[in-house]
Amino acid sequence: MPELPEVENIKIGLKPNVINKTIINVEYSQKIIDAHLEGKRALVKDELNYFKENLIGKTILNLERRGKYVFFTLNNGYLITHFGMTGAYFVVTNIEEIENKNYFNHRHIIFSLSTGEKLVYSDIRRFGELRYLENLNNFKPFNTLAPEPFSEKSLEYFLEKLESKKYRNVPIKALLLEGNVFCGCGNIYACEVLYKEKIHPEKKASELTREEKTKIFKSLVKILEFSIEQGGSTISDFVHSDGGEGNMQNYLQIYGHKMCPLNHDTENIVIKTRSTYYCPKCQK
């Protein structure tokens, strides 16, 4: 968390509030300063002075999403953000406008804008990542990510990966979480699509027909599109840049449920270190 739909909604809500505004200062919480002094690059993956010096005076020209990342296009360079599990941005005039107490108490990076507003990055668990880049071509994760799931070439790319020697004997649930196989899918939506298609999460790619693989892909795209429309899933701490919550959690069929929609007991196993909800009766 957040996954593609949540990050897309962060982008949608944040974009009109930051375009054509200039960063005039960058401040860090004492926890981030202390962590860097100890040699731990918490949140900011650059040296703090380097990050600050390369952002001050830069104007935000655009805001886009790639997979689970958002990146601010500046008049010179880029600000890249991955939200980890609990990262969030807020645009406020006063810090007190952040009504969520968890995010208010864990505000770690404050970008002062030329309009008098503040772009605040909060992160409860501090697993997020922020960095300044002069060129996106130097950012390895973007070069290895699968095509965006809504692009025309994404389905063929997905099928080629699942049929390759490297991945054919890997469980399908694990493959859906691989960003270089499918871009933007996380644990929630992987569980949801496999339940919808009645496929056991431990089934290997080689055990699936091409038709089944195609159905998984198309169903997952539809689930992601619907989740974007619903504002994403607020399972624990995810909020939009205005503090609002998503609505997709009200439509989840299997994730976090003790029973499936057909009233069968669900099971929870670990695949690729992630809790995997499935129905042993529905999913074979």
**Which residues belong to the active site?**
2-3, 68, 274
SS3 (DSSP) at 115 = coil
Q: Are 129 and 82 spatial neighbours (Cβ–Cβ below 8 Å)? A: yes
Q: Which residues make beta-bridge pairs with 23?
A: 113
SS3 (DSSP) at 103 = helix
Q: Are 182 and 149 spatial neighbours (Cβ–Cβ below 8 Å)? A: yes
The 3-class SS string of 194-241 reads HHHCCCCCCCEHHHCCHHHHHHHHHHHHHHHHHHHHCCCCCCCCCCCC
SS3 (DSSP) at 151 = coil
Per DSSP, the residues of 60-82 read EEEEEEETTEEEEEESSSEEEEE
CA torsion, points 269, 272, 277, 282, in degrees to nearest 10?
-90
For residue 280, give the amino acid letter.
Answer: P
- Return the biggest CA–CA distance within the chain: 59
Instruction: Tell me the Ramachandran region of residue 27: left when phi exceeds 0, alpha when psi lies from -120 to 50, beta otherwise.
Output: beta
Q: Are 131 and 46 spatial neighbours (Cβ–Cβ below 8 Å)? A: yes
